[in-house]
């Protein structure tokens, strides 16, 4: 679809150059202070649906096997109920190490307006989080709200620890944006050709 759109723009004499990734994000916490193997979080869309693209996680150095589970509705009350969850990802990733968030690309999923999707992230290694007295468990902006206040310690569905806030970032509504160069049909005062530049995101 993106390639077709680019060809159409070129056929109209519109130039594009130098694409950049554009994304919205919400930072949960980066306080550290505690760790085990995973966290739960709820993502709730506000007036408009959102597309969740990736998580940034605080991971110990080394290779991590990461498993991602999702469910419709809040994770609260379903922490140990495997039948409520669907595993959507299971792969290995190299951590960026201490004091950096490691990006974990997800299979993009949509959270509809005023709906909640629960996530569980479990690592084979150490994942860092904070105690709730040191970090806010509930954060929101104009697009979404995130609640992350329970941890996984061990294998999925083996137990949960309350009052543990995920250290990480939620990336959403990403797109690939270009400056669109459009010939200006208006005559210039100095005799030089002029162009208009407007952003377009795919």
Classify residue 150: in a domain, yes or no. yes
- Which pair of tokens denotes residue 25? 């994000």
Q: What is the pLDDT of residues 133-175, one digit of tens each?
A: 888 999 999 999 999 999 999 999 999 999 999 999 999 997 6
Highest mean pLDDT range out of 3-17, 20-34, 128-142?
Answer: 128-142
Residue 128 lies in a domain: yes
C-alpha to C-alpha distance for 155 and 79, rounded to whole angstroms: 12
Based on the structure, what is the number of domains in the chain?
A: 1
Task: Judge whether 182 lies within some domain.
Answer: no
Task: Compute the distance between CA of residue 24 and CA of residue 56 in angstroms, rounded to an integer.
Answer: 13
Task: Examine residue 17 and state whether it is found in any structural domain, yes or no.
Answer: no
Structural Rg of the chain based on CA atoms: 21
How does pLDDT run across 48-89, given as a tens digit for each residue? 999 999 999 999 999 999 999 999 999 999 999 999 999 999
Boundaries of domain holding 76: 23-174
- Which DSSP letter does residue 187 get? P
pLDDT digits (tens, 9 = 90+) for 82-124: 999 999 999 999 999 888 999 999 888 999 999 999 999 999 9
CATH code (residue 103)? 2.60.120.820
Note whether residue 18 is domain-resident: no
Q: Is the pLDDT of residue 201 over 70?
A: no
- Contact predicate 181/16, CB 8 Å: yes
Q: What are phi and psi of 8, to 5 degrees?
A: -60, -40
Has residue 159 been placed in a domain? yes
Q: Which of 174, 69, 46, 181 is nearest to 118 (CA)?
A: 69
Helix H, strand E, coil C: the string for 68-88 is EEEEEECCCCCCCCHHHCEEE
156 domain-assigned = yes
- Quote the pLDDT of residue 41: 97
What integer pLDDT is reported at residue 30 of this predicted model? 86
Tokens of 183: 């010939």
**81 within a domain of the structure (yes/no):** yes
| Structure confidence at residue 176 as a pLDDT band (50, 70, 90) | very low
| pTM score | 0.76
Q: How far apart are CA 63 and CA 154, in angstroms?
A: 17
- By three-state DSSP, how is residue 11 classified? helix
And the tokens for 192? 């030089």
Question: What phi and psi values does residue 2 have, to the nearest 5 degrees?
Answer: -60, -45
pLDDT at 189: 52
């Amino acid at each position: 679809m993106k390639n077709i759109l680019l060809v159409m723009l070129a056929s109209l004499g519109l130039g594009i150059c130098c694409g950049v990734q554009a994304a919205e994000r919400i930072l949960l916490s980066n306080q550290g202070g505690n760790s085990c193997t995973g966290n739960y979080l709820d993502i709730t869309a506000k007036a408009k649906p959102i597309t969740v693209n990736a998580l940034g996680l605080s991971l110990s150095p080394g290779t991590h096997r990461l498993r991602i589970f999702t469910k419709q509705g809040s994770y609260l009350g379903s922490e140990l109920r495997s039948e409520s969850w669907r595993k959507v990802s299971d792969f290995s990733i190299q951590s960026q190490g201490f004091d950096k968030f490691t990006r974990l690309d997800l299979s993009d999923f949509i959270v509809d307006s005023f709906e909640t999707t629960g996530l569980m992230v479990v690592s084979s290694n150490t994942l860092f989080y904070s105690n709730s007295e040191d970090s806010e468990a509930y954060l929101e902006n104009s697009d979404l709200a995130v609640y992350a206040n329970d941890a996984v310690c061990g294998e999925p569905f083996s137990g949960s620890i309350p009052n543990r806030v995920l250290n990480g970032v939620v990336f959403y509504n990403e797109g690939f944006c270009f400056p669109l160069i459009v010939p200006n049909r208006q005559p210039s005062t100095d005799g030089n050709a002029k162009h208009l530049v407007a952003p377009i995101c795919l």
